[in-house]
Structures are given as C-alpha cells and as structure tokens.
Structure 1
Amino acid sequence: MTRRMPAGFRAAAVFVKPLLLGVTRREWSGAENLPTDSGFIAVSNHMTYADPFTLAHFLYDHGQAPHFLAKASLFDIPVVGKALHGLDQVPVHRGSAKAKDAVDAAVKLLARGDSIAVFPEGTLTRDPELWPMLARTGAARMALEHDVPVVPIAQWGAQHLLDPYGKRPHLIPPKKVIVRAGAPVDLEDFRGRDLDIETLRGATDRIMGSLTGMLEDIRGEKAPAKPWDMRREGGGR
C-alpha cells in the first residue's frame, strides 16, 4: 500500500529538508522493515535534541508521515504550537489528568494506518557513552493493547550535529548520520497476557534489547551489560 503524504508534511519539508540535506551526510538502511499495510510504533534511542529531526527525515524519506509524542509545553509556543497541531503531533501531559489523552490520540493515528514515533527512554540518555537507558513501558503497553508492530530504529551521529543538551548546532562540516530500521520486534509471547509490570517490563526490555543490539552493530562496540537506570545511578549530566 502506497500512502499519500499529507500536504502539511510536504509543506514543512520544503523548509526543513533542504537544511537537513545541507548539514548531514545520510546513511539510511532498513526501510524494507517499515510496515506499509498497517500502523506501527517506531522506537528510537535518544541522545540529543537533534534526534527528532533526523528520525523524522528518515521516516519522511521512506513515505511515512512522522508523528511524535511531544511535551505539551511545546504546543504553547506561538507558531510552533500551531504547526505541531497542524501536523497531528501528539501533546503529552505527564503527571496530569490529561496524560491519557496522548495515548488516545496516538491510538487514533495507529488505527488509521499511521506511524507513531516514540523515544521510550522518555528523555535524553544519561549514559556517559550515550547507550540507551532503561526505558519506560508506554510503547510496549500501546503495542500490546492495540496489537500493532514495534519497529526499532537506531541512530548514531546526530549528537555531532548538536551536543547532548547543547543549544548551538555544529553545522559545518556536514555530519554523518546513520539511521537503521530493524525488523519488527517479536512480542508474540507477550500478547494476550495480563498487562502487569512483569509483562510490560519484559516486552520493553526486549524492544530496547533489539534497539541496543542494532546500535552495537552501528558503533562496532559493546553496550554495558545493564542499561543505565536513573533510579539507581542518578540523573547524571
């Protein structure tokens, strides 16, 4: 099934894509793993505030309109907020009565065959070597409750474009950015089970294990045996 890219995304790409093309050297792979006959959840590692742009670029280049779950405060910014709403981005109200609204909005997008992009760690990694941290269970819950595939998308190189927590981008020379989509994570043995913490943690760890393994291949390095856990090791940075 070939999707028609919504006009709003095509209009945004007119302004954003030329900049990304100018400041990056892209190594895209694995697009054949992106489902074309159903909605899916794209999960990615999170190292820098540039990650959403490089992930969106990858998805857009392969026919997927990138829908993100984003902090609700961004939607209050003049012009930016209106643009986010117009592009069907999903505001997340953490720790409030509106928190469930984000899930409901995401489920509607998945039901109509769109993709949802999620950074399961919930924030930039605190791991000193930029490996994925212990993740939150929201993406796994959504996948299991609504029977949608989860596609791991590992990326590396965006941190050279913008330092973790940095505000001044390094645009010259262009930075090599690797983005690789893997096969949907096999969660069949978790489907149909009670969505208790054991099930959700097991599914989440499998998702993040796939993502971390892909990142190991990209980096040619071995990740720590246990992911960084902010509850145990502190926030860092």
Structure 2
Amino acid sequence: MTVRKLQEKRGWAWNIAVPIIKPLLLATTKREWIGGENIPVEGGFIIALNHISHVDPLTAAHLVYDHGHKPSYLAKSGLFDNKALGYFLRGAGQIPVKRETKDAVGAYSAAVDAIRAGRVVVIYPEATITRDPELWPMKGKSGAARIALETGCPVIPVGQWGAQELLAPYTKKPHLVPRNQITMRVGTPVPLDDLRAQPRTTALVNEATERIMTAITHQLELVRGEKAPAERYDMAVHGDRFKKKKAS
C-alpha cells in the first residue's frame, strides 16, 4: 500500500482535525488502498469517486492524506452557516456550494482556482449518496467534467466500498465494532485529452461526464467482483427511493 508524506504544511485546521479523526478511523476501520501509485505526487487534480455513505468523505480524505495531499471538497453551503464550523471548514480549504443556484457558479470558479493552485479537489459526480438499490453509481452530474475540461487537470477515478457498513445511507447509528473493511481502488486518469480542444457543447460535457462515471464504476466492479447494471440509476427517471421509503 502506497503511503507518502504530506507535500505541504498542514495548517491550523488540519493540525486540529488529523490527531482526532485519523486515530478514530484507524480504530474503527481496516483500510485497503489499491492503485495508490496512480495518485499524482504533485500538481492540481480531481479525485472522483462514488458516494455510498455520509461518512465516506472522511474515509476518502484518509486515502488522499495517506498519499501526501490535503483534500478540498465541494461542501454543502449549509455547513458553513455555523460561524465556528464555517471558519474551520474554510481554514481546511473546503469550498462552499449552494446547489441549484446561481452561487454554484462561484463554487465552480473556486474549484477551478484551487486546481490551478495545485490543490486536490475531491468530487462525487453523483452529487449525493447513490439511490441505486445495490449501491452502484448513479448517473453523474457535470461538475467534475466541466472543471477538468476548463483546467486540463487529471481526473483520478476511485471505486470505494465498505463505508456503507460503517454508516448505512441515511442512518444515524454507526457500526463501529468489529472494524469495517474500507477498500478504495484508484484507477489511471480518465482519458479526456481528445475532448479538451473541442467546443464546450452540452454533448461534449455529457461525454466527459459519462467517461468519468464509467471509470469509477469499473474500479468499483473490480473491488466488488461483480458487474454493474447496464443502465445507471437516474433520479430524474426512477425517483428518489429514500424519499419514497419515508413517505410509506
């Protein structure tokens, strides 16, 4: 398992978070990082992965940190409403985003600036925890693709599994004992070079998004030893099964 030293100073927020969160993760999870050599040593890039639990941003941060980088996330703007938490999140380099509003453009610009400054931005292209009944990746949204096309940065696909056992989707009670196996498989950069010189049409962005989701899904198939469904779950078509479950 590849482990690297942090490439930059941690900063005050990470100096607080790491001594608290990393021992907790080590006490409650067993980690398996596969393909870590595919994570660039330096330069700005995107880590794109599937979303299966509210806790997996922490396990993904563990992966990125173990490979020498401090991850930045596009985080829900509501988390920044609390002054203390917002101050901490900004100190840790996190990027607030108001979904489905004009302010989301500002988050896009902030992510582009972060990439160009050499930072690592972690993005869940699904934008929310998957609603697929078997937790396969859903249809992706375009944010990661648009940022990658704008900056020319690598997009590193990651298929991850196990966090749903630590904290099942949309539940509040974690399962801490026995320690849960967290597996993250890192693929080679998604091939996007042929798209970057072309006009930025909707069809082009959709093609880039599909390539990213295909790469993530392939890594997850290798982790699970199974084949994903031929058709991705699409909430616009299939609805939100969690909301349906609550309504019933």
TM range, smaller chain: over 0.9
Out of 191-200 and 73-82, give the one that drifted further. 73-82
Structure 1 residue 124 and structure 2 residue 129: aligned? yes
**Displacement, 1:78?**
4.4
> Of the candidates 185, 200, 207, which is equivalent to residue 180 of structure 1?
185
Structure 1 residue 70 and structure 2 residue 68: aligned? no
User: Please, what TM-score do these two structures have when normalized by structure 2?
Assistant: 0.92
Amino acid at match of 2:110: A
1:225 counterpart residue number: 230
What are the residue-to-residue correspondences of 1:133-172 with 2, within 5 Å?
133-172=138-177
Give the alignment's Cα RMSD to 1 decimal.
1.4
2:10 counterpart residue number: 6
Structure 1 residue 17 and structure 2 residue 17: aligned? no
> Of the candidates 207, 210, 219, which is equivalent to residue 205 of structure 1?
210
Distance 2:27 2:195 in 1: 43
Contact 1:5 1:63 in 2 (8 A): no
Contact 2:53 2:129 in 1 (8 A): yes
Unmatched segments (≥5 aa) in structure 2: 243-248
Amino acid at match of 1:174: R
Tell me the secondary structure at the aligned position of residue 21 of structure 2: helix
Amino acid at match of 1:201: N
2:245 counterpart residue number: none
Tell me the secondary structure at the aligned position of residue 27 of structure 1: strand
Amino acid at match of 2:44: G
1:86 counterpart residue number: 91
Amino acid at match of 1:222: K
> Of the candidates 224, 228, 234, which is equivalent to residue 239 of structure 2?
234
The alpha-carbon distance between structure 1 residues 210 and 4, as it changes in their structure 2 partners (threshold 3 A), is same
Amino acid at match of 1:173: P
**Displacement, 1:2?**
7.0
Contact 1:143 1:150 in 2 (8 A): yes
The alpha-carbon distance between structure 1 residues 37 and 61, as it changes in their structure 2 partners (threshold 3 A), is closer
**Displacement, 1:63?**
0.7
Aligned length: 237
Q: Identity of paired residues, percent?
A: 46
User: Please, what TM-score do these two structures have when normalized by structure 1?
Assistant: 0.96
Which structure 1 residue ranges, 4+ long, deviate > 6 Å from structure 2?
A: none
**Deviations 1:20-61, CA, capped at 9 Å, x for gaps:** 000001111211111123100110100110110100011011
Unmatched segments (≥5 aa) in structure 1: none
1:45 counterpart residue number: 50
Contact 1:30 1:182 in 2 (8 A): yes
